[in-house]
């Protein structure tokens, strides 16, 4: 009898257990059916990112106004530096938000996390627009402003990375770079929208009107974007990659099969079924830690350039190169040119590879940054415009493939937490302080191009870390 059972179980044709060995098989990740990600998914992913970076853009673009109203000082440069310091405070909270909300995205789902971030950023933006100024309530005004910037920073810690993860998990292999470009272009669209609104307020209102109530308008408009984005996001399903992970977790509870073992087995981490949990998970964790450090290093230079591009208007105004209105105008034109270039660069990385395209742009940055700053700060409108255009063209080649490169570094089960935390630690330390450091270097040394040396260092560091990345643009997501 026992011999018969053994023979039956060993026989592959035996119908007693026909489908069990097929359970771990991975379904196709070609989730867009070859036609593209559904429009509602793309809209939901990018609207929150537009709002997040719209909010940061209006704060940076109107830093001089905010400095006068909330951080008054006899020296306008001191007010501006303190305003940029409060700008950086929001970034300090980003890593904490990335960890907390990133774990929410990995455990409860990408959709739930994105709804939370949308509400938080939108409500904080409206409340900033309703704040009393220093003239009305004294020191309470800057304290409330900083507190709301911290709340925004918590939510921002998972907004862009969460939207990028959600959208790229929907895309099939061979199209992820394209959608990486789309979600990254939405950050510049947010910058552009914020800069455009700030430019309109400054250009078409008198300084007295701006100081009285005009500065509030851009922040209150952020609440409208948040309401629309939340409505769209609540109607979405989870990403296909996360639905697959959730199904594996349910199977674990039903059949006692370790989800992480199955996951790492699919990733090629385990040697045999019996070794999967001990060897495979350990290997997978080591790869995640390595990916975390690589993202942190790459983000150094990338965020320096990204946040410098956004804060160019206040920088040009501070060093006396242009009036604030003219600086905002040139910046808006440059950002408008950058948006389609980011999408094109993301799509091009699906053919050339993320590493090759980003590496070439970073190398050019290291060479061209000083000449670009000399041109942008020569005191002419044409010089400022051309310098910023060159700056953002190179940044498009770096940022277009970036989200896809980072998403591809991590497995689905920890992607939200690992991507959000690694990116936002770098953004907090390097990106959030970039406007402050740039303005300080230029004003303290009296040399308008002094920040360029700091940016060149960032480009070289990012290039060194990028050289250690394995390009996975032709592989399925793990």
> What is the pLDDT, as a whole number, of residue 256?
60
Provide the token pair at 175.
Answer: 């199209």
437 pLDDT more than 90 = no
**Residue range 460-473, pLDDT digits in tens:** 999 999 999 999 88
Q: Could you tell me the pTM of the whole model?
A: 0.76
What is the band of 27 on the pLDDT scale with cuts at 50, 70, 90? very low
Q: Do residues 301 and 434 lie in contact, with contact meaning Cβ atoms separated by under 8 Å?
A: no
**Residue range 224-278, pLDDT digits in tens:** 888 888 888 887 777 777 778 777 777 777 766 544 444 444 443 333 333 333 3
Q: Do residues 49 and 163 lie in contact, with contact meaning Cβ atoms separated by under 8 Å?
A: yes
342 pLDDT more than 70 = yes
∠ CA 310-469-406, rounded to 5° = 50
Nearest-10 Cα torsion for 361, 343, 196, 123:
-110
Average pLDDT for 324-339: 85
Please state, in angstroms and rounded to a whole number, the distance separating the CA atoms of residues 128 and 347: 37
Give the helix ranges, DSSP H, for 353-409.
354-376, 381-399, 402-407
**Residue range 382-419, pLDDT digits in tens:** 999 999 999 999 999 999 999 999 999 998 888 989 99
What is the band of 78 on the pLDDT scale with cuts at 50, 70, 90? low
Range with lowest mean pLDDT among 68-72, 89-93, 201-205: 89-93
Question: DSSP assignment, residue 13?
Answer: T
The residue among 140 and 314 whose pLDDT is bigger is 140
């Amino acid at each position: 009898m026992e011999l018969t059972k053994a023979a039956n179980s060993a026989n592959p044709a035996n119908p007693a257990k026909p489908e069990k060995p097929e359970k771990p098989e991975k379904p196709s990740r070609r989730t867009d059916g070859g036609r593209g990600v559904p429009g509602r998914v793309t809209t939901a992913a990018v609207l929150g990112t537009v709002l997040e970076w719209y909010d940061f853009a209006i704060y940076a673009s109107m830093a001089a106004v905010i400095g006068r109203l909330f951080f008054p000082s006899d020296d306008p440069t001191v007010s501006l530096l303190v305003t940029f310091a409060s700008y950086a405070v929001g970034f300090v909270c980003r890593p904490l938000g990335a960890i907390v909300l990133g774990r929410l995205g990995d455990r409860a789902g990408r959709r739930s996390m994105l709804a939370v971030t949308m509400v938080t950023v939108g409500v904080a933006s409206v409340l900033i627009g309703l704040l009393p100024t220093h003239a009305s309530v004294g020191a309470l005004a800057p304290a409330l402003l900083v507190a709301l910037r911290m709340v925004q920073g918590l939510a921002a810690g998972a907004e862009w990375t969460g939207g990028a993860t959600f959208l790229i998990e929907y895309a099939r292999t061979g199209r992820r770079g394209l959608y990486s470009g789309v979600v990254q272009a939405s950050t510049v669209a947010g910058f552009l929208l914020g800069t455009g609104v700030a430019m309109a307020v400054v250009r078409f209102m008198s300084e007295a009107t701006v100081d009285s109530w005009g500065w509030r308008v851009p922040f209150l408009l952020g609440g409208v974007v948040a309401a629309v984005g939340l409505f769209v996001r609540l109607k979405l399903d989870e990403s296909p990659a996360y639905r697959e992970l959730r199904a594996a977790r349910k199977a674990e509870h039903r059949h006692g099969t370790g989800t992480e073992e199955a996951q790492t087995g699919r990733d090629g981490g385990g040697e045999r079924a019996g070794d999967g949990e001990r060897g495979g998970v350990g290997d997978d964790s080591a790869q995640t830690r390595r990916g975390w450090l690589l993202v942190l290093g790459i983000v150094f230079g990338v965020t320096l350039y990204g946040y410098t591009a956004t804060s160019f208007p206040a920088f040009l105004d501070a060093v006396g190169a242009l009036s604030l209105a003219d600086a905002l105008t040139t910046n808006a034109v440059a950002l408008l040119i950058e948006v389609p270039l980011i999408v094109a660069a993301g799509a091009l990385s699906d053919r050339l590879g993320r590493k090759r395209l980003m590496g070439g742009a970073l190398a050019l940055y290291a060479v061209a940054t000083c000449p670009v700053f000399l041109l942008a700060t020569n005191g002419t409108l044409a010089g400022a415009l051309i310098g910023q255009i060159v700056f953002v063209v190179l940044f498009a080649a770096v940022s277009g493939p970036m989200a896809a490169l980072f998403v591809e570094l991590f497995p689905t089960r920890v992607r939200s937490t690992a991507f959000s935390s690694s990116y936002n630690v770098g953004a907090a330390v390097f990106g959030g302080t970039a406007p402050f450091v740039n303005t300080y270097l230029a004003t303290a040394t009296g040399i308008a191009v002094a920040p360029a040396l700091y940016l060149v260092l960032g480009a070289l560091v990012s290039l060194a870390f990028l050289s250690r990345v394995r390009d996975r643009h032709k592989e399925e997501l793990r």
